């Protein structure tokens, strides 16, 4: 059966906010330490302590926004422990994640430097769970106040006279769980209090983000919108794709067709979730002023055998590439309300884009999807009528393919496509209406593995990598016919 899309090139229906391609880096396992930060004295080539190979890889993605320092870590983090001479910084236990020593060598200045080097917006997650209002207020003052004040002086003493710009600030993380086990009514009140002191200094304008729900907790969204909606700019949603159950999530690499299918089926739940949380938000905020921010998403498997269970280190295969592509398409579809998303997590943790081993690294299939889809950043989302063929395993069906189309500032059309089927090529017909140049050239890129669990390692860094794609042809009637190999992702540029 054919998958059919009619793309209305003359009907833009919104903007794909580039922040949908955001990332999340927590003090967890080897994400910050080893993955990003090696220190200035390391034998690994670095820029003021940030490893160059990873930095260069991340620069290639045009990361728009980076969330830090957690996650659960955020509500235990006391920012003053991470400033001043590194040798004097407090050593603490990272209780959430592996019980290892956190030496606080990567702190506010190091994070802001990383954002500068990446050319991205910082999204700082403050501590509501175990921190004080004063502590949160002072962090914002330290970061953004340009005049004379105790925190501005402290910043200058630490080598930074000028304030930074901070656009995004989260007031707590998962406060229904690791961030304090609060009830929504209690958190809503706490949020109202804390956010009062997250001030706009000078011309810095902070987009205040409240902790939102996990998965299907619609009651949380309802209470937050009702009690605190007018005090927030964004409300978060966390959803992870776990193939099995929490206690036995499943292996990242050792899986068959059933687990492939089950994982993708669970990834597609994101569409239903966003839809339902949006309906609640629409009730309180029909003008869509408040953004839904999916600041934690991605696959979560059992850790790689022999690794610290608290480090959440997992490999990343073509299955993850498909989860990434299909999820990004869902975000596009809901671009009217979803204006930021942050994949968890950037390096060495969960669905990472980069994996490191000592002084070596590999780009994951997920990296390549983010790279291929860069043309969608801030592009006009185009109206699309789409009918997918069914992909059925064990009597359950999901759509075989997923498609999204946008027009970039250069006028070119970009159509991203994925074929979720583990074993069948997909025939797609793309009818392009309203194109100003109906015979514009088509160029394509394809990401495909030699096995469902194909992945990259430092020994085999290019086993999965994008290649030119010649499977899209324009017929006499102008319709573009695409044959998309099983388990693959493609990006077409038309124009």
Which of the 8 DSSP states describes residue 249? -
In terms of Cα–Cα distance, which of 417, 280, 376 is closest to 5?
417
- For residue 330 the two structure tokens come to 């869902």
Residue selected from 26, 110, 233, 271 as contacting ligand AHR according to rule CB under 6 A = 26
Binding mask 354-393 for ligand AHR (x = CB under 6 A): ----------------------------------------
Alpha-carbon span 177 to 193, nearest angstrom:
19
Q: Which of 19, 173, 351, 401 binds ligand AHR (CB under 6 A)?
A: 173
Binding segment for ligand AHR among 30-38, 67-75, 225-233, 269-277 (CB under 6 A)? Answer: 67-75
Q: DSSP alpha helices (H): ranges in 334-414?
A: 365-372
Q: How many residues bind ligand AHR (CB under 6 A)?
A: 10
Beta bridge partners of 214: 238
Choose the binding region for ligand AHR from 68-76, 139-147, 325-333, 460-468 (rule: CB under 6 A). 68-76
Residue selected from 54, 83, 344, 417 as contacting ligand AHR according to rule CB under 6 A: 344
Closest distance of CB 344 from ligand AHR, Å:
4
Q: Which residues pair with 445 in a beta bridge?
A: 468, 491
Tokens of 159: 């080598």
- Compare residues 72 and 280 and give the one whose CB is closer to ligand AHR: 72
353 scored as a contact of ligand AHR (CB under 6 A): no
Stretch binding ligand AHR (CB under 6 A), from 70-78, 130-138, 273-281, 379-387:
70-78
Q: Which two tokens stand for residue 248?
A: 């036995």
Residue nearer to ligand AHR on the CB measure, 71 or 82: 71
Per CB under 6 A, the list member of 22, 64, 69, 71 interacting with ligand AHR is 71
Q: Does 294 bind ligand AHR (CB under 6 A)?
A: no
Is 70 a binding residue for ligand AHR by CB under 6 A? The answer is yes
**Interface region with ligand AHR, contact rule CB under 6 A, candidates 65-73, 264-272, 426-434, 448-456:** 65-73
The residues carrying an active-site annotation are 174, 296
Reduced to 3 states, what is the DSSP secondary structure of residue 183?
A: coil
Strand partners, 86: none
Binding residue for ligand AHR (CB under 6 A) from 174, 190, 271, 302? 174
Identify the residue among 25, 57, 72, 324 touching ligand AHR (CB under 6 A). Answer: 72
Q: How far is the CB of 24 from ligand AHR (least distance, A)?
A: 7
Cα separation of 257 and 396, whole Å? 13
Q: Of 110 and 296, which has the nearer Cβ to ligand AHR?
A: 296
Q: Are 424 and 389 in contact (CB under 8 A)?
A: no
Q: How far apart are CA 117 and CA 52, in angstroms?
A: 10
DSSP 430: E
Q: Is 296 in the site for ligand AHR (CB under 6 A)?
A: yes
- Nearest CB to ligand AHR, comparing residues 66 and 447: 66
Smaller CB distance to ligand AHR: residue 102 or 174? 174
Cβ count near 24 (within 10 Å): 26
CB of 296 to ligand AHR, least distance (A): 5
Q: How far apart are CA 125 and CA 73, in angstroms?
A: 10
Strand bridging mode 396-399 / 390-393: antiparallel
**CB nearer ligand AHR, residue 164 or residue 176:** 176
Which range of residues in 69-77, 161-169, 189-197, 279-287 is near ligand AHR by CB under 6 A? 69-77
Give 174 or 271: the residue with its C-beta nearer to ligand AHR.
174
The residue nearest ligand AHR at its CB is 71
Cβ burial 43-70 (10 Å sphere, 16+ → b, else e): ebebeebbbeebbebbeebebbbbbbbb
To ligand AHR, the closest distance from the beta carbon of 301 in angstroms equals: 13
> Sign of dihedral through CA atoms 227, 169, 81, 359?
positive
Which strand (E) or helix (H) includes residue 122? strand 121-126
Among left, alpha and beta (phi > 0; psi -120 to 50; other), residue 378 is left
Q: Do residues 262 and 308 make contact, with C-beta atoms less than 8 angstroms apart? A: no
C-beta closer to ligand AHR: residue 351 or 406: 351
Rounded to a whole number of angstroms, the minimum distance from the CB of residue 350 to ligand AHR is: 6
Q: In degrees, to the nearest 5, what angle opens at C-alpha 182 toward C-alphas 288 and 223?
A: 30
| Residue among 198, 224, 201 at smallest CA distance from 125 | 198
Does 75 bind ligand AHR (CB under 6 A)? Our answer is no
Residues making contact with ligand AHR (CB under 6 A): 26, 70-72, 173-174, 296, 344-345, 350
């Amino acid at each position: 059966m054919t998958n059919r899309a009619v793309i209305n090139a003359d009907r833009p229906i919104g903007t794909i906010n580039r922040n949908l391609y955001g990332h999340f880096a927590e003090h967890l396992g080897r994400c910050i330490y080893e993955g990003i930060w090696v220190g200035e004295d390391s034998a690994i080539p670095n820029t003021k302590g940030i490893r160059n190979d990873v930095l260069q890889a991340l620069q290639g993605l045009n990361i728009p926004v980076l969330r830090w320092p957690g996650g659960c870590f955020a509500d235990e983090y006391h920012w003053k422990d991470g400033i001043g001479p590194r040798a004097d910084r407090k050593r603490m236990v990272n209780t959430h994640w592996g019980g290892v020593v956190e030496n606080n060598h990567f702190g506010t200045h190091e994070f802001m430097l990383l954002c500068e080097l990446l050319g991205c917006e910082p999204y700082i997650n403050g501590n509501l769970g175990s921190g004080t209002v004063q502590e949160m207020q002072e962090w914002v003052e330290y970061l953004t106040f340009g005049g004379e004040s105790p925190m501005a002086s402290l910043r200058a003493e630490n080598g930074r006279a000028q304030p930074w710009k901070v656009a995004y600030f989260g007031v707590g993380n998962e406060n229904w769980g690791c961030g304090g086990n609060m009830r929504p009514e209690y958190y809503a009140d706490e949020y109202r209090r804390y956010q009062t002191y997250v001030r706009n200094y000078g011309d810095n304008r902070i987009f205040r983000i409240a902790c939102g729900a996990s998965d299907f907790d619609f009651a949380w969204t309802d209470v937050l919108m009702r009690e605190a909606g007018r005090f927030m700019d964004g409300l978060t949603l966390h959803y992870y794709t776990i193939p099995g159950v929490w206690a036995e999530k499943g292996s990242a690499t050792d899986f068959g067709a059933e687990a492939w299918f089950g994982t993708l089926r669970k990834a597609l739940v994101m569409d239903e979730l966003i839809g339902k949380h949006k309906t609640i938000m629409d009730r309180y905020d029909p003008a869509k002023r408040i953004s839904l921010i999916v600041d934690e998403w991605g696959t979560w498997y059992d850790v790689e055998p022999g690794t610290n269970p608290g480090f959440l280190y997992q490999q990343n295969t073509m299955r993850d590439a498909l989860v990434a592509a299909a999820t990004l398409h869902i975000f596009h579809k809901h671009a009217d309300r979803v204006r930021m998303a942050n994949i968890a997590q950037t390096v060495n943790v969960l669905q990472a884009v980069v994996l490191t081993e000592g002084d070596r690294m590999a780009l994951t299939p997920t990296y390549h999807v983010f790279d291929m889809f860069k043309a969608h950043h801030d592009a006009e989302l185009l109206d699309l009528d789409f009918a997918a063929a069914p992909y059925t395993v064990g009597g359950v069906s999901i759509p075989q393919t997923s498609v999204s189309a946008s027009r970039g500032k250069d006028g070119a059309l970009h159509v991203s496509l994925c074929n979720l089927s583990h074993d069948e090529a997909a025939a797609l017909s793309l009818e392009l209406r309203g194109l100003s140049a109906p015979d514009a050239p088509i160029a394509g890129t394809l990401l495909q593995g030699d096995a469902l669990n194909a992945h990259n390692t430092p020994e085999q860094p290019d086993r999965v990598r994008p290649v030119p794609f010649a499977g899209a042809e324009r017929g006499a009637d102008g319709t573009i016919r695409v044959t998309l190999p099983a388990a693959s992702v493609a990006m077409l540029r038309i124009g």
